[in-house]
Amino acid sequence: MFNQDDQDKSNRQDAMTTSYETVFCDRFRRAVWSALSQVFLAWIPAVGIIWVGSVGNGQERLQKQSQSSLQAGDINTEFSRVYIFVDRTTALGHAHGVEGRLLNGNVTIDGSHPGELVFDMKSFDADTPNGRKVFGLADDIDQGTRKKVTENMLGAEVLYVSKYPEAKLENITLSSTGKTSDRKLPEILMEGDFTLHNTTRKISATCDLEEKNGWNHLRGKFRIRQTDYGIKPYTRALGAVGVKDELLIYGDLWIAPSQ
């Protein structure tokens, strides 16, 4: 049997062993957690860089592909738009801003050959937010009214898109006026033959031109009278509600540059 001194000595050794084990385990856990933390913290920015880099490269590839699929002068139909301002004849009713798209087109800035724009008449949509914003109109048209106005506009009484699904601006030429626009850009005169409802009239549009985001950005406007193209201006309630004969057409074109 052990005497009391031997027992006390044994207890002290056990306590020291337990203390050493506790300290060792605690230090071991801290070391492991510290190492894992460094790995984790290093991994987070690495993942972020890969993700951001992938998105950026994707956008660059998209831009290059959309340009490489077009020839010099081709219209980027995804971003190009045409807007029409339709004014009212009386205090009743609304003035309208119409938004439409192009089917295709080509306009060479250097004038190496006559250009052409083909308008997708079925795409025309009355009083879209952008359509109203372009002409400074208040955005106070409800969806029901918008739908009705669009139906009337596309119907047989006005654009008759089931019979005339396209309009064209052909034999386009561009020439510098030597002036600057309100946007402090070079002013360009666009001239051509505009065909609507199988009727062709010469038009001229005052435009301006800038190079932006790798594209030629051409913006301009011209006016036509509906009656010149065999269209009777829309009217209702014995003329109490109706639109004016003259339309203001505004083009916003993104054109592929020369390679």
Q: Provide DSSP, the chain.
A: ---HHHHHHHHHHHHHHHHHHHHHHHHHHHHHHHHHHHHHHHHHHHHHHHHHHHHHHHHHHHHHHHHHTS-TTBB-TTT-EEEEEEEESSSSS--EEEEEEEEEEE--TT-SS-EEEEEEEEEEEET-HHHHHHTT--S---HHHHHHHHHHHHSTTTT-TTT--EEEEEEEEEEEEEEE-TTSSEEEEEEEEEEETTEEEEEEEEEEEEEETTEEEEEEEEEEEGGGGT-PPPEEGGGTEEEEEEEEEEEEEEEPPP-
pLDDT of the residue at 27? 53
pLDDT of the residue at 200? 98
What is the CATH topology of the domain spanning 72-255?
A: Lipocalin (2.40.128)
Residue ranges in the chain modelled with pLDDT below 70? 1-68, 237-241, 259
pTM of the model: 0.73
pLDDT of the residue at 238? 45
pLDDT of the residue at 23? 45
